[in-house]
Amino acid sequence: MIFKAEVHIMPRKTVLDTQGKAVEKTLIHLGYTSLKEANVGKIVKIRLDAESADSAKKSVESMCQDLLVNELTETFDIIIEASCK
């Protein structure tokens, strides 16, 4: 069965998010004074063949640990859903 996975990767709270700070500062400068915080991360979309949603998630977790995420500086969440195509 084909599954779609989205990996949401964000900087850890203990790591300075320089991109987020730059976005935050610029938006406030542009007049968005109600803004309290901005963070910048990334989303990786993956389609994969797996026997179940659980095995798809385990495969994507392995991909995150091997390549996609620097676990010293980033955190991640995985969303898995069955693909229609």
Buried b (16+ CB within 10 A) or exposed e, 46-66: bebebeeeeebbebbbebbee
pLDDT in tens, the chain (85 residues): 999 999 999 999 999 999 999 999 999 999 999 999 999 999 999 999 999 999 999 999 999 999 999 999 999 999 999 987 6
Q: Flag whether 49 is in a domain.
A: yes
What predicted TM-score, i.e. pTM, was given to this entire model? Answer: 0.88
Q: Flag whether 20 is in a domain.
A: no
Q: Flag whether 29 is in a domain.
A: no
Q: Flag whether 6 is in a domain.
A: yes
What is the pLDDT at residue 21? 97
What is the pLDDT at residue 85? 65
What range does the domain containing 75 cover?
A: 2-15+41-82
Q: Flag whether 36 is in a domain.
A: no
Q: Flag whether 35 is in a domain.
A: no
Total tally of structural domains belonging to the chain: 1
